Structure 1
Amino acid sequence: MSSIDLRGGTTDRIVTIADLRAAELGVTFTAGGRPFGPQLAHYTRLTADGRPAVGIDRSLPLTDAAEAH
């Protein structure tokens, strides 16, 4: 049973971090506590155009994974 069904068909208190199609159902998609839909659409267009733009500040060895996070 879906979360929407459990809420009686309403989406007012449902948020997802996993379903990229959430907006189609009226559900908020979020990342890090912030709505991410507009940014996701932007990055999807860049990728579709073959222009992914990812800024990398620095690289760390695997032994420094905790610092990287």
Structure 2
Amino acid sequence: MFQYRPPGNHVVYPPDPRCPPYHRQYTGGYDTHVHMIEAHYSQLNRKVQRLLERVEHIERYLGIKP
């Protein structure tokens, strides 16, 4: 088995050819690339929601928005 180094310090091993193709192949426990993108999208969605709540709080504090 070979190994290759991505940018950074951690070592990534290619998927084992003996494993079925649905075996988790992505770091972080993601099944597919789509699963990874969906998780990141929902994380960004939560961050945007928190920022919007903070902006609304600040606007109410400053009296900009009733």
The TM-score, its normalising length taken from structure 1, stands at 0.27
Higher share of residues assigned helix? 2
The TM-score, its normalising length taken from structure 2, stands at 0.27
